[in-house]
């Protein structure tokens, strides 16, 4: 049945190429016995659904390499203290490391307003224009780069949408990924969102200044992180008091130097 069907298609294709016989062939194809045999043709595709994103991410990565810029993708759930961590981090590394920030939110420019006060160029992306997306995709990053002067940027930090699921799936062309996890969240977040903790290169365990007031089991949290991603560095910090920032900033500076050679 499948073969007969296929031949019908071939006939149809054939008359496309011989227009003078078009009417006759078409009649045969449409009116002949072949049309009675209905079949299904299986067509092998074997393509990644997110192919388009991967291609754009590669393009971004090449661009960042050309511009000699280190790109850090910061991810977390909402309310983990990502923006505060970023504000404090920028205050420490500027002006030695010339930085810029792309910040993604579904709505509002609140984060961009806060980050602008640090003096770095900030691009706000609101994904509601893109359908309220739960992550920043590579093409959205590409669009956001237009207003930035890469001559004067060594480090571009992308503050992704607050979400532990989707951003992990989308490569944006970054050099490193960090996830901010706060001690007001469950210890087992890494086990619940393994992909996020697999794709990241370091964890910032934030809000440690609150530990005396919580029943949080920090050893359990670290154990979960190490189960999902053995050997991944965990920096225990408080963005409020800047406790533990030294190790985190050293790691960041070393990562930048490793790429840029300075």
Partner 1 sequence: MHEMGVAMQIIEIATASIPEDMKGARVERINLKVGKLSAIVPDSLGFCFEIAAKETQLEGAELVIEEIPVTARCKDCDNEWTIDSPVFSCSRCQSGSIELLSGRELDIDSIEVKED
Q: What is the length of the chain?
A: 262
CA–CA gap between residue 166 and residue 128 (Å, rounded)? 16
Q: State yes or no: residue 19 binds partner 1 (CB under 8 A).
A: no
- Burial (CB count within 10 angstroms: exposed 0-12, middle 13-18, buried 19+), residue 41: exposed
Tell me the closest approach of the beta carbon of residue 198 to partner 1, in angstroms.
7
Which residues in the 180-219 window bind partner 1 by CB under 8 A? 190-192, 194-195, 198
Tell me the closest approach of the beta carbon of residue 48 to partner 1, in angstroms.
5
Tell me the closest approach of the beta carbon of residue 191 to partner 1, in angstroms.
4
Q: State yes or no: residue 234 binds partner 1 (CB under 8 A).
A: no
- From 47-55, 67-75, 111-119, 179-187, give the range in contact with partner 1 by CB under 8 A: 47-55
Of 19, 231, 254, 262, which lies in the binding site for partner 1, with binding defined by CB under 8 A? 231
SS3 label, residue 99: strand
SS3 label, residue 248: helix
Tell me the closest approach of the beta carbon of residue 228 to partner 1, in angstroms.
5
Q: State yes or no: residue 262 binds partner 1 (CB under 8 A).
A: no
Which residues in the 102-141 window bind partner 1 by CB under 8 A? 131, 133-135, 137
Question: How far does Cα 16 stand from its chain's mean position?
Answer: 45
Tell me the closest approach of the beta carbon of residue 84 to partner 1, in angstroms.
25
Dump the DSSP string for 192-222: HSHHHHHH-SEEEEE-GGGGGGS---HHHHH
The distance in angstroms from the start CA to the end CA of the chain is 67
Q: At what angle do helices 245-260 and 82-93 cross, to 10 degrees?
A: 70
Tell me the closest approach of the beta carbon of residue 71 to partner 1, in angstroms.
21
Quick one: 231 or 261, whose CB is closer to partner 1? 231
Residues 147-186: x/- map of binding to partner 1 (CB under 8 A)?
----------------x-xx-xx-----------------
SS3 label, residue 181: strand
């Amino acid at each position: 049945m499948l073969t007969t069907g296929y031949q019908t298609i071939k006939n149809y294709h054939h008359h496309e190429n011989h227009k003078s016989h078009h009417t006759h062939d078409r009649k045969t194809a449409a009116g002949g016995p072949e049309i009675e045999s209905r079949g299904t043709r299986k067509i092998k595709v074997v393509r990644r659904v997110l192919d388009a994103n991967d291609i754009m991410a590669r393009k971004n990565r090449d661009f960042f390499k050309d511009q000699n810029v280190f790109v850090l993708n910061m991810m977390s759930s909402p309310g983990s203290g990502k923006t505060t961590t970023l504000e404090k981090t920028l205050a420490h590394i500027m002006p030695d490391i010339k930085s810029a920030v792309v910040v993604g939110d579904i709505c509002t420019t609140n984060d961009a307003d806060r980050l602008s006060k640090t003096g770095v160029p900030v691009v706000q992306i609101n994904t509601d224009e893109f359908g309220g997306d739960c992550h920043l995709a590579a093409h959205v990053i590409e669009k956001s780069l237009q207003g930035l002067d890469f001559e004067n940027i060594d480090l571009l930090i992308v503050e992704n949408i607050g979400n532990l699921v989707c951003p992990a799936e989308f490569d944006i062309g970054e050099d490193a990924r960090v996830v901010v996890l706060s001690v007001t969240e469950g210890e087992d977040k890494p086990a619940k969102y393994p992909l996020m903790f697999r794709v990241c290169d370091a964890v910032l365990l934030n809000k440690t200044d609150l530990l005396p007031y919580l029943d949080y089991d920090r050893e359990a949290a670290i154990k979960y992180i190490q189960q999902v991603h053995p050997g991944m560095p965990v920096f225990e910090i408080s963005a409020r008091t800047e406790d533990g920032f030294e190790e985190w900033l050293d790691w960041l500076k070393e990562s930048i130097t490793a790429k840029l050679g300075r």
